[in-house]
Structure 1
Amino acid sequence: MYGFENEPLELHLLAAKRILRYLAGTLDYGLEFSPCTESLRIIAFVDADWAGCVDDRRSMSGHCVLVGNNVVSWNTRKQKVVSRSTMEAEYRSLTDVAAEVTWINALLHDLSAANRTTNHLV
């Protein structure tokens, strides 16, 4: 089975051009990091859209991880397998973000900030 990259259509070219125009218009944008005066709380938000892709019925996952008030990680992607229920799709998303939070917590610990961190999953 071939994907769209092997046989692109006109609408794919139009979508790529739209993305490039958007990126060209956001060159002056950036992320702002504010200093954290209290403990470095790690907060994660996660969600899944069960069977969100109509082509292959795979679910979409998304998460956002904050340290203090600053977003440090975010991701949206199609899950690798087909989930049989909403709960299964949500658990898959939760395990992805839990691994990310564990990695960030270990990184902060390595940077000697561990005594100031607390974790929250939402």
Structure 2
Amino acid sequence: MHNPSASHSSQLKKLLRYIKGTCGLGLPIVRSNLLLRTFSDEDWASDPMSRKSTSGFCMFLGDTLVSWTVKKKTTVSRSSTESEYRALASATADTIWIRRLLADFGIKHDPPVDIFCDNMSTIALANNPVFHARTKHIE
């Protein structure tokens, strides 16, 4: 801001052209129920060099997407169950935050939130606390 150069001006023009060309695009906001749903997934060891996983989750309030995250993990998981479980835990934490945010807005959300995951061992681990003894390696 204090010392703009020609490259800054060209980058600004490129950004403004992009914004102008994508004004018609966006995320649809539709009137629907206020049922919160979360979908979680993890791509175990997707980076062939570092063997780190990429996780992602998205939350819908009714039919409207309200939150999403995709990021490469900072640690290497030993199994697909471990990586999916970490993604599920992260999605759950964000879901709890969204529920509290809705409560701050005066929107009461009494029904339990459906959290979807596609890994059967992770679902079994999350549902049955007996398995937690076998997962001491997961922080």
**Where do 1:86-101 residues align within 5 Å?**
86-101=80-95
The one of 26, 34, 43 equivalent to 2:30 is 34
Q: Larger relative contact order (C-alpha < 8 A, sep ≥ 6)? A: 1
Alpha-carbon distance between aligned partners in 2 of 1:26 and 1:83, rounded to the nearest angstrom: 38
| Identity of matched residues, % | 35
> 1:21-80 CA distances to partner (integer Å, 9 max, x unpaired)?
9x92533201221122x4x21101111011001121101101111011100011111012
Alignment TM-score, normalising by the size of structure 2: 0.65
Matched position secondary structure for 2:35:
strand
Number of matched residues? 100
Alpha-carbon distance between aligned partners in 1 of 2:39 and 2:65, rounded to the nearest angstrom: 11
Amino acid at match of 1:41: L
Consecutive unaligned residues of structure 2, counting only runs of 5 or more, are 1-13, 117-139
Q: Which has the higher strand share?
A: 1
Matched position secondary structure for 1:77:
strand
> RMSD of the TM alignment (CA)?
2.0
> 1:76-122 CA distances to partner (integer Å, 9 max, x unpaired)?
11012100000000011001111110010001111111146541101
Counterpart position of 1:72: 66
Runs of 4+ in structure 1 over 2 Å off = 23-28, 115-118
Q: Which has the higher helix share?
A: 2
Alignment TM-score, normalising by the size of structure 1: 0.73
Consecutive unaligned residues of structure 1, counting only runs of 5 or more, are 1-19
- Highest CA radius of gyration, 1 or 2? 2
